[in-house]
Structure 1
Amino acid sequence: MYRKKFIPPLLKKPLIATTDSSSSEPPQKKIKIEPQSSSQKSSDSDGGRSSQSSSGVRRVLPVSRVTAGPGSRFNPPKIIRKPLVPVSNPPAESEGPKPVSDGGGGRHYFNVLWRKFQARKHKTWDGDGVLVIVNGNATLQDVNGRDIGTGRVSKVPVEGDVISLGGKEVEIDSVLPKSDFMAGKPFLKSKGSQVDAAPTINPVEFHAKNVFKPPLLSGTTITKVNPQKPAARFDPTAEGALVMKRPDVSSSKNKVVVDVVVDPILSRHLRPHQREGVAFLYEAVMGLRPYEGRGAILADEMGLGKTLQTIALLWTLLKQNPIHNQGPVIKKAMIVCPVTLINNWRREFKKWLGNERIHVFVADGKSNVRDFTHGPVYNVMIVGYERLRSIQDKLKQCQVDIIIADEGHRLKTAENKSAQAIRSLSTPRRVVLSGTPLQNDLREFFVMVDFVNPGILENYSTFKKQFENPIVKSQQPEASKSDKDLGNARKASLTELTNKFVLRRTAKILSKYLPPKTDIVLFCRPTKQQLELYQAILNTSVAKRQIGSMDTALQLITLLKKVCNSTSLLKPKGKEDDETKLSSSILEEAKVAGSALIAQNSSGKLKVLERLLVTLKETTQEKVVLVSNYTSTLDILEKMLNSKGFHHLRLDGKTPANKRQDLVDKFNRVSSDVAFAFLLSSKSGGAGLNLIGASRLFLFDSDWNPATDLQAMARVHRDGQKSHVYIYRMITTGCIDEKIYQRQITKQGLADSVMDQKAGGSNFTSAELKDLFRLDTETVCNTHDLLGCECGEIGEPPCEDMEHEEEEEEEEPIQMIGWTKASIVDMDKQEEAYRKATSKARQRMKALLEFSHINPDKIPENGIRDSSPKRSKQEEGEGSDDGEEEDDAEEVPIPVVEDEILKKVLDGSPKAISFIFTKNSL
């Protein structure tokens, strides 16, 4: 069968090099048509570029593409392409900026892309990273700071280079400035301009989530006409008005911004620092500050009015919105606090707003949570941390718009059940109130920051590697200069970031509003029975085994702390636990169980306290607060008060929650004849209470955590106090009491810190742990000995060169191994090393340089020192020309004790107190 030959279609028409008159292919460019003006005529002089149609429309043809030819109207275009011109690329050295070195150290930093080796054609990158090159050694880190590859490089790469490193391909993206790497910016979520620039605000996010929304489209609804001009709830131009920051809604249409003004009923009572605090919290929870999150930490010291600032914030958010015609920003608020502070919060709401303005729901065991979740009556709920865990499922039935965590340092562990209960409510606005946000280490601070603004510091593993470890390492005595530089840079970067949502003010700003305060540290000599019992315990084999590690030493530490408080605390009790068994075994081996050493109530601190209380009761009408960490110690103090006939009140863990505030109110109201002393447990009532009825507070024992003691000591120096306040710390000289106090001062006095509460102190070394149990019977104050102070112990302030002495760099520690010939020992170098070691110890406890140091042994009994004055030069040599006696002889100064009560005790028992630290503030 005949078949026609198959001819495949041409996908592209061939180029025509010659002109074909028979071709009728249209021109490739569309004919441009434009009307002809009267001045335009058809002529042959235009070279065939135009023609006139019968309709009077002139057609213009592009000469460059169309050529006239015979036999046809148009000829197909002849396309002539110019050859490509070769262009030489610039040399590789000129591409991009050169990597920046650290100035001789051979260090380079790059932002890179990395991936594992891939065999497929279209490869993808696995993630971003940071490449660090130090003297040819390259380290690849991911965005979390983990090392994922190491190797050697022969030359410093430039932008665009691809290198192999640790089984991965790495492409250099850009040069990373050294300052950004040292600050840890590549490892933070908020990078670059996101941290520095204010975020764009969506006005819809301002109002509560449960505000009614119309089901119709915006174009089908009838626009409501507001007859009144948009105006603020309160006059922003009034005198003393506190106006909040306006949001930027320029990108949103049909949104009218009005001023948010704090209710004058509250703003007229706010002090300047409190006005600043309210504005700070408002900007934080409204997303008006330059960070990612809606949380904040109000870290003011005790007594600055965190409660009032919080009430002003909540009342403003409950009633106002910066967007006109929107509902309030929040409709439901929850305050979580220790059970001891529930009634205090309720009283503060009633004090400032009254019951007619706001209804507060207290979630105790008798209340029904449904009244808050489903009812419109209550806007604020106050609940304790323990109660919150049991009602968290019921709270999910409503939308809680903001959560206030009072004494938020309780949420210092990620496994904390209260913190998990709050996280389960999915509330973006969270505020933590804490006078001591940094207590023991940076890990607790990370947990608090991650609680209020989740993810802002990435995860803990990244935070630990990039911030905690460098900061802690820089504070070690053996830290090198590079370690200190990196630690300081990371600390500065962390402080810069956290200052965007952490507000910290000290009690110094209260100097205008509160009476002066005097802090007194009393080092009390232990009694003979205490020393014998203390030494007998340390000599036992059981105690020596416990000193091996910190975990096993805790029970021994508790036992020795009891000896410092009173020997009678070691009397056997009915309960059987590990601590009791250990105590019994040690006492049996020491052969003191049931002996006279623990039968009598022997304690140097207790005797000094008794003399102070008796003197106060006999000579003044003042009231006192006695604080201890142990209820068993409170029992001994209560027996001592009963033996003297001193009336008192007591608040500890066994006191019902509904009666605690009544006890506080009664103590503040009655005279010293009705209630002379208030016994307080620092763990149960050491935070948030206002015991302004007393003007003197005695901290009988110390806690490892300085925040616990600072909270307890601030109970009397608060708003409403009218008298001069005296704070006494009781410490047993040379015993574990003094070691704990030194540890507290070290935490508070470290030079490099993130906040005032000097965090990041190193853990105990084995040498420090052994020294912890050493009994020093020869010293009058081991703390002053370690300080290396040359103040003369007469109460004068330390000299300026000690206060401003800076720690010098130590190139290499001097190590003396084995026997060394005396002829080759450089004594000057040895003395210099000792001076530097003493300087480091002084730097760790430099907070004590703010105190005046007094040795009572240098105070004469009659207050006048009997010593011959120094003779003048004229008396030693020639006499005076005029015969008159020279009166320029220097007198020997004597210590001055300003506290009259303490002075009387020293006169009566000069040997009971071995040393005194005093500091006047505010």
Structure 2
Amino acid sequence: MYSKKFVPPLLRKPTAAPEDADEPPNKKARLSSSSSALTISTAHTPQRVAQTLKLSSASNTARKPLLLVRNPVSPPATATDDDDDDDDNATTTTTTTDRYYNVLWRKKTTKKHKTFDGDGILALSGGYATLQDSSGKDLGRTMMRAAPGLGDLVSLGGKDVEIDSVLSRADYLSGRPFLKAAPVKEESAASFQAVSAAGFFGSKFKTPLLGSTAVGNSHAKVPTPRHDPTAEGALVMPRPSGGGKNIVDVVVDPFVSAHLRPHQREGVQFLYEAVMGHKAFDGQGAILADEMGLGKTLQTIALLWTLLKQNPVFGAGGPVVRKALIVCPVTLINNWRKEFNKWLGRERLGVFVADSKATIRDFTHGRVYSVMIVGYERLQKVQGELRGVDIDIVIADEGHRLKTERNKSAAAIRGLNTKRRVILSGTPLQNDLHEFYIMVDFVNPGLLESYQTFRKEFENPIVKSRQPGASRKDVEKGKARGDELARITKLFVLRRTAEILSSYLPPKTEYIVFCRPTPKQLKVYTTILSSPHIESCYRSPDTSLLLITLLKKLCNSPGLLAPKPSPHPPHHPTTQALLAAVHPKLLESHSSSHSGKFRVLDRLLLTLYRTTTEKVVVISNYTSTLDLLSTLLSSRGLTHTRLDGATPQSRRQDIIDAFNRTDHRSSFALLLSAKSGGAGINLVGASRLVLFDLDWNPATDAQAMARVHRDGQTRPVVIYRLVTTGCVEEKILQRQVAKTGLAESVVDMKSGVGSFTSEELRDLFSVRETECATHELLGCGCGGRGYVAGPPSPEGEGEGSGGEEEEEEEEVKYPGLMKASEVDIEKIERERLAAMKKAPKGAQLGALMEYSHVLASRLVRAKPAKTEKAADDDDEEEEEYDEVSIEDELLTQVVRDGMGKEVSFIFQKTF
């Protein structure tokens, strides 16, 4: 087709000069001058052209200059008064001149028809402009003193950049521009909905008719909910925001909702909105992160039963979910089946358990089963068979197992292409940002972009802002990024603490019992640490982990280090080398007398059995320790059962049920492995729990201690955590409380072990003969009298603070003016690092200040309260023998029977 050559129209026709003018007619606008070269690109906007014409004809008074109209620019942020108070000498140029823009960028090209390669962010700060693409990747940086205008085309890093719009400082600091799939802020969403309602939904929508379509009379049924939404106590699910004539109320079956507590009703509604896509984020996943004992299983069953039977769209052709998959640890399979039978009965729902004898085809091709329960390991083997059926929702119980990128179970679930994914986990997810990202990306893929983008724009700024000596700008940016993550994740992450159960369950008291090591333990401990092979453990992560495991077993009992019989594999060569100098007689006996913790446990179990009708659960991380515990119980004639990794799956639930039903004479104690049975199971038949040893991961211990304080418990719960003082166990406790994340690095064999300095390892493997190193580290001034001292003050003042005079004495003395050659920079740096290392210790252990601290020797010598007359006669003695006590009379009797020889300190807290 013939067409003429396109000629761009002139922006403005030249005007002729007046006839009476002395000067000749004006020439066309100059595009360049001697002072600066201005080039009008084809990509320039009319505003830019007008600005150029204005600059070129500024000296010509005959022509009226064009007016430049700019979009309003948000006012620059100013420094706050607080910032000025913090540092009078700090400059405020970073907060008064920073500018941020949404831009379009392209590589430099000579093509006639130029197109842009993508969107980006231009940050102007401190006289420099930095260009990033939408994923946060740095594309270039250059010096730029003057702020560009809208529509300007600038050159940066070998790229042409066009200024598209102004980006607010708050949006840039929050990192929102780098998360394309993230939900907008609530106020933005509200304004968008208002505009949409007025502009797009102002008139009634009419379905367009196709040429061959004929509309007949409608005889559709009236939408009717499955259950009455107006009934008393009805749990009605929220309707979708769009609404419509075919929307019907979804009501949880009253048969189930009648058993839900208020926080559980809220949880079901939260999960329903998330998996149905009614929340303001791009995804259909959710994370139920309630603490242990809040009923995550019941909330999940209520959700599944509702989705399996109802649909908010009337006449949609069936329920929302037809096939559901529950993935859990193998130890919890029977518990899930039991919970379904408990709340729904056997006749309402077909539940398929995919054990080793089951045929997966019965679930995939049959109509009898709607829910399948499978273990994580079994799922990896049957994932191929499940791909032939549409799985509408996946529930991952104990979902913190999916926290690694290479997890095969997570890959198997992703292979099912199921959008609705729910993670159940009783442990917090915000401790490690990398694991946090993996969990979020599992339930809502792509919501936080790629991990490279997340690490650069969120993880690194947040971690950097929490480092000692972080600048004000880094702290501000890190806080904004953290707030943005919290805003996004609260839409699909629900976290409630166990405080909710205070009105439903009996009280729970936790005791941290610090046990002194026996002389034989100390002898073995010091011999190992004085071995010539100990130096090699400081240089290798593998040998460091071996030494940690060796010392942890030694804290339980020296007998665990004895040479193993022939059927068992021998010790590692490094372990054998470390034990070579230990006298064999110190390891030959498995008697409980070789361990301070065994002595305390022995008296505790005997006193509990003889004086009460309560039962106890004893938990350890090592099966070899469970063997010693079993021997101890048998020698005392105490009945017990055992559940560990060697227990067949088919017998585990029977063991749990029998323990919960029988009295303390038939089954007094249950020996439990923390790895195999420390999560998900209910052991309400016992009201006492002993955590015999500690795990590097605090989540493992938290899960284990929650086994007895659950629904169905009728007695007050008492938990004992036994810790060998002065040894590696006490340092593990300190690191748990401090939440440094160092423990997970050691266990997972990540780079964290390699980051230990030699001094840190020497401190970890050292031994201190002290009453309680943790109490000394806290700097608590209670003196072991048993009252709660409260958190330490910011200045670090204890009970013995001397007020202003003492503060003046401890004030740093500056030398004043001196020669530069006389300054010892290395000494100053060492003192600064030592102060930074020492200062946060007490703050990191501040959670232990919520406990009352009792010195065991005070329990032994405490006397009954004296009469008023006796107190007057002997004031000094009354002052010496302060009366101290703990709530648990049984533990008090155990300490007094041992005359306080094995127990040094007791930390007590009631929840």
TM above 0.5, yes or no, is yes
Alignment CA distance shift 1:230-1:806 (3 Å): farther
Q: Tell me the distance in 2 between the aligned counterparts of 1:152 and 1:813.
A: 41
Q: Aligned pair 1:852/2:852, yes or no?
A: yes
Once the two structures are overlaid, the 10-residue window that deviates more, 270-279 or 766-775, is: 766-775
Q: Tell me the distance in 1 between the aligned counterparts of 2:172 and 2:752.
A: 24
AA of the residue aligned to 1:633: T
Q: Tell me the distance in 2 between the aligned counterparts of 1:218 and 1:523.
A: 84
Indicate if the aligned counterparts of 2:561 and 2:587 stay in contact, CA closer than 8 A: no
Residue 328 of structure 1: how far off its partner (Å): 0.7
Once the two structures are overlaid, the 10-residue window that deviates more, 156-165 or 485-494, is: 156-165
Cα offsets for 1:639-688 (capped at 9, x unmatched): 11111111111110011111101000000000111111001111111111
Indicate if the aligned counterparts of 1:408 and 1:433 stay in contact, CA closer than 8 A: yes
Q: Aligned pair 1:421/2:415, yes or no?
A: no
Q: Aligned pair 1:793/2:770, yes or no?
A: no
Q: TM-score, normalised by structure 1?
A: 0.79
Alignment CA distance shift 1:345-1:647 (3 Å): same
Q: Tell me the distance in 2 between the aligned counterparts of 1:659 and 1:737.
A: 33
Identity, % of aligned positions: 53
Q: Tell me the distance in 2 between the aligned counterparts of 1:631 and 1:886.
A: 53
Report the counterpart of residue 887 of structure 2 in structure 1: 898
Q: Tell me the distance in 1 between the aligned counterparts of 2:832 and 2:797.
A: 15
Report the counterpart of residue 37 of structure 2 in structure 1: none
Q: Tell me the distance in 1 between the aligned counterparts of 2:280 and 2:383.
A: 32
Indicate if the aligned counterparts of 1:409 and 1:437 stay in contact, CA closer than 8 A: no
Indicate if the aligned counterparts of 1:522 and 1:730 stay in contact, CA closer than 8 A: yes
SS at 2:232's partner residue? coil
Indicate if the aligned counterparts of 1:475 and 1:761 stay in contact, CA closer than 8 A: no
SS at 2:695's partner residue? coil
Report the counterpart of residue 305 of structure 2 in structure 1: 315
Report the counterpart of residue 579 of structure 2 in structure 1: 587
Indicate if the aligned counterparts of 2:791 and 2:850 stay in contact, CA closer than 8 A: no
Q: Aligned pair 1:356/2:347, yes or no?
A: yes
Indicate if the aligned counterparts of 1:561 and 1:737 stay in contact, CA closer than 8 A: yes
Q: Aligned pair 1:488/2:465, yes or no?
A: no
Residue 906 of structure 1: how far off its partner (Å): 1.2
Indicate if the aligned counterparts of 2:862 and 2:883 stay in contact, CA closer than 8 A: no
Residue 837 of structure 1: how far off its partner (Å): 6.1
Alignment CA distance shift 1:839-1:772 (3 Å): closer
What is the aligned counterpart of 2:73 among 78, 97, 103?
A: 97
SS at 2:861's partner residue? coil
Query: Structure 1 or 2: larger helix share?
Result: 2
Residue 486 of structure 1: how far off its partner (Å): 2.3
Once the two structures are overlaid, the 10-residue window that deviates more, 837-846 or 633-642, is: 837-846
Report the counterpart of residue 808 of structure 2 in structure 1: none
Indicate if the aligned counterparts of 2:858 and 2:884 stay in contact, CA closer than 8 A: yes
Cα offsets for 1:587-640 (capped at 9, x unmatched): 12x243x33345454111111111111111111111000001111111111111
Q: Aligned pair 1:511/2:502, yes or no?
A: yes
SS at 2:363's partner residue? helix
Alignment CA distance shift 1:531-1:865 (3 Å): farther
Residue 776 of structure 1: how far off its partner (Å): 3.5
Say which one has the larger Rg: 1
Q: Aligned pair count? A: 790
Q: Aligned pair 1:289/2:279, yes or no?
A: yes
Report the counterpart of residue 306 of structure 1 in structure 2: 296
Residue 468 of structure 1: how far off its partner (Å): 1.6
Once the two structures are overlaid, the 10-residue window that deviates more, 791-800 or 612-621, is: 791-800
Residue 865 of structure 1: how far off its partner (Å): 8.9
Q: Aligned pair 1:229/2:231, yes or no?
A: no
Q: Tell me the distance in 2 between the aligned counterparts of 1:469 and 1:320.
A: 45
SS at 1:859's partner residue? helix
AA of the residue aligned to 2:93: G
Q: Tell me the distance in 1 between the aligned counterparts of 2:834 and 2:230.
A: 65
Q: Tell me the distance in 2 between the aligned counterparts of 1:362 and 1:217.
A: 52
Q: Aligned pair 1:162/2:159, yes or no?
A: no
AA of the residue aligned to 1:679: L
Residue 768 of structure 1: how far off its partner (Å): 6.2
Cα offsets for 1:99-147 (capped at 9, x unmatched): 7355423333222222221121122222222222331133222222222
Indicate if the aligned counterparts of 2:858 and 2:882 stay in contact, CA closer than 8 A: no
Q: Aligned pair 1:337/2:328, yes or no?
A: yes
AA of the residue aligned to 2:883: I
Q: Tell me the distance in 2 between the aligned counterparts of 1:192 and 1:403.
A: 23
Indicate if the aligned counterparts of 1:194 and 1:291 stay in contact, CA closer than 8 A: no
Report the counterpart of residue 687 of structure 1 in structure 2: 679
Gaps of 5+ in 2: 7-61, 80-91, 194-209, 743-750, 799-810
Cα offsets for 1:500-554 (capped at 9, x unmatched): 0000000001011000000110110011111111111111222221112544411
AA of the residue aligned to 2:576: S
AA of the residue aligned to 1:366: K
SS at 1:335's partner residue? strand
Once the two structures are overlaid, the 10-residue window that deviates more, 499-508 or 838-847, is: 838-847
Cα offsets for 1:678-728 (capped at 9, x unmatched): 011111111110000000101111111111110000000000000010111
Cα offsets for 1:295-337 (capped at 9, x unmatched): 0000000000001100110111111111111211111111111
SS at 2:383's partner residue? helix
Report the counterpart of residue 728 of structure 2 in structure 1: 736
Residue 258 of structure 1: how far off its partner (Å): 1.0
Q: Tell me the distance in 1 between the aligned counterparts of 2:443 and 2:767.
A: 46
RMSD between superposed Cα atoms in Å: 3.8
Report the counterpart of residue 756 of structure 1 in structure 2: none
What is the aligned counterpart of 2:235 among 216, 238, 242?
A: 242
Alignment CA distance shift 1:772-1:897 (3 Å): same
AA of the residue aligned to 1:386: E
Residue 820 of structure 1: how far off its partner (Å): 13
Q: Aligned pair 1:703/2:712, yes or no?
A: no
SS at 2:906's partner residue? strand
SS at 1:133's partner residue? strand
Q: Tell me the distance in 2 between the aligned counterparts of 1:867 and 1:527.
A: 40
Q: Tell me the distance in 2 between the aligned counterparts of 1:786 and 1:891.
A: 25
Q: Aligned pair 1:913/2:907, yes or no?
A: no
Q: Tell me the distance in 2 between the aligned counterparts of 1:425 and 1:113.
A: 38
Trace 1:486-565 onto structure 2 (pairs within 5 A).
486-565=477-556
Alignment CA distance shift 1:523-1:173 (3 Å): same
AA of the residue aligned to 2:232: E
Q: Tell me the distance in 2 between the aligned counterparts of 1:458 and 1:614.
A: 58
Q: Tell me the distance in 2 between the aligned counterparts of 1:772 and 1:664.
A: 42
Q: Tell me the distance in 1 between the aligned counterparts of 2:280 and 2:795.
A: 36
Alignment CA distance shift 1:820-1:159 (3 Å): closer
Cα offsets for 1:354-403 (capped at 9, x unmatched): 11111111111111111111111111111111111111111111101001
What is the aligned counterpart of 1:407 among 369, 379, 398?
A: 398
Cα offsets for 1:718-741 (capped at 9, x unmatched): 000000101111111011101111
Indicate if the aligned counterparts of 1:406 and 1:434 stay in contact, CA closer than 8 A: yes
Report the counterpart of residue 597 of structure 2 in structure 1: 605
Indicate if the aligned counterparts of 2:679 and 2:704 stay in contact, CA closer than 8 A: yes
SS at 2:605's partner residue? helix
AA of the residue aligned to 1:399: D
Q: Aligned pair 1:746/2:738, yes or no?
A: yes
Residue 248 of structure 1: how far off its partner (Å): 3.5
Once the two structures are overlaid, the 10-residue window that deviates more, 339-348 or 855-864, is: 855-864
Alignment CA distance shift 1:101-1:577 (3 Å): farther
Alignment CA distance shift 1:384-1:176 (3 Å): same
What is the aligned counterpart of 1:188 among 173, 179, 186?
A: 179
Cα offsets for 1:212-256 (capped at 9, x unmatched): xxxx99936977624x53211111111000011111345x6xx51
Q: Aligned pair 1:677/2:669, yes or no?
A: yes
Report the counterpart of residue 206 of structure 2 in structure 1: none
Cα offsets for 1:149-203 (capped at 9, x unmatched): 1222232323222222222222222222222122111111235748763899xxx
AA of the residue aligned to 1:581: P
